[in-house]
Amino acid sequence: MKTSLCSFCLKSGILCSKCSEKVKSGEITDSDLKVARVLLSLEESYPSLQNINFYKSVDSGKTLAIIVGRGDVPRLLGYGGKIVKALEEKTGKIIRILEYGVDDRKFLEDLFAPLSIVTINTIWLPDGSMETRVILRRRGGRPPPFDVKALKEIARKVRNMTLRVEFQE
Ligand SMILES: [Zn+2]
């Protein structure tokens, strides 16, 4: 796995001066450190993790979003979801895997998976601010399989996006 931390620090858990500077400046958070170490510990069992880029983690409540490189999402979702399950066990959070540098639509598709998106549109409010309205397909009136409030906060933290989430049968 590639991160902005050096592999020595990740493996030892003791930070060199360069890496501890990154933690001090806030470029790397404690949560990022923890996720990176968990991913590293899983590499042996799941070799596809060796090739992923880990950018950062963003949390809200019990949900933790892990942002990885372009094309890395399938590498984390493979193995029948075992990697995500292991991450959830070790972090105690519900994991969402998101891709770095994608367009808004792809970002929202990953954020709200497995529900599919009916429509995305932009709403301008009278005060000049903007909201992104996302309508998700829901079947049988079932509650969504994720915490909508947490995902909205993650969208704000990651993309500076204000979401309005609605459902359609
Ligand atoms: Zn280091």
Reported as a single tens digit per residue, the pLDDT across 44-70 is 999 989 999 999 999 999 999 999 999
Q: Which residue has the tokens 């991160």?
A: 3
Chain centroid offset of residue 12 CA: 25
Which phi and psi angles does 125 have, rounded to 5°? Answer: -90, 160
Cα–ligand 1 centroid distance for 33 (angstroms)? 11
Cα–ligand 1 centroid distance for 32 (angstroms)? 14
Residue 12's pLDDT band (cuts 50, 70, 90): confident
Q: Report, as an integer, the average pLDDT of 151-167.
A: 96
Cα–ligand 1 centroid distance for 10 (angstroms)? 7
Cα–ligand 1 centroid distance for 53 (angstroms)? 17
For residues 9 and 22, the answer to whether their CB atoms sit within 8 Å is no
For residues 81 and 96, the answer to whether their CB atoms sit within 8 Å is no
pLDDT in tens, 16-39: 999 999 999 999 998 999 999 999
Residue 13's pLDDT band (cuts 50, 70, 90): confident
Cα–ligand 1 centroid distance for 161 (angstroms)? 33
Cα–ligand 1 centroid distance for 23 (angstroms)? 10
The pLDDT of residue 142: 85
Estimate the crossing angle of helix 148-159 against helix 104-112, to 10 degrees. Answer: 150
The pLDDT of residue 8: 87
Strand segments, DSSP code E, in 33-160 are 54-60, 63-68, 94-99, 117-124, 130-137
For residues 70 and 102, the answer to whether their CB atoms sit within 8 Å is yes
Element (H, E) at 167: strand 163-168
The pLDDT of residue 159: 94
Cα–ligand 1 centroid distance for 123 (angstroms)? 44
Cα–ligand 1 centroid distance for 24 (angstroms)? 13
Residue 140's pLDDT band (cuts 50, 70, 90): confident
Instruction: Please list all protein residues whose beta carbon sits less than 5 angstroms from ligand 1, which is an ion.
Output: 6, 9, 16, 19
Chain centroid offset of residue 100 CA: 9
The pLDDT of residue 55: 95
Predicted confidence (pLDDT) at residue 137 exceeds the cutoff of 90: yes
